[in-house]
Amino acid sequence: MEGLFQPMHLIFIMIIVLILFGPGKLPELGKGLGRGIREFKDAIRGGMDGSSEKKEDDKKKEEDKKN
């Protein structure tokens, strides 16, 4: 065994995820995961002051209303 994430392992994991969640739910999961990672990075960089956080929340709410 050369590594944990060999190409066949990744393909197998992707097939299981597709079966569990279905193709309709995957974009929502990806969007939520990306948003969570972005917020985590902002928190680490110290971007958690009140004014910038409110601006980002307002932008996200406007984007969600458009969708």
- Does any domain span residue 10? no
- Give which of 31, 58, 30, 56 is closest to 42, Cα–Cα: 56
Residue 47: per-residue pLDDT? 60
Span of 1-10, 30-39, 45-54, 58-67 with lowest mean pLDDT: 45-54
Does the pTM exceed 0.95? no
Residue 1 included in any domain:
no
Give a yes or no: residue 2 inside a domain: no
Residues in the chain: 67
Range of the structural domain that residue 45 is part of: 26-67
Contact 49, 55 (CB under 8 A): no
Does residue 67 register a pLDDT over 70? Answer: no
Q: Would you state the structure tokens that stand for residue 46, as one six-digit string?
A: 């110290």
Asked whether residue 4 is domain-assigned, the answer is no
CA distance 63 to 35: 12
Into how many domains does the chain fold?
1
Residue 34 inside a domain? The answer is yes
Would 8 be classed as within a structural domain?
no
Reading the block at residue 34, the tokens are: 């990306």
Asked if residue 48 belongs to a domain, the reply is: yes
Give the pLDDT score at 40: 93
pLDDT category at 6 given cuts 50, 70, 90 is confident
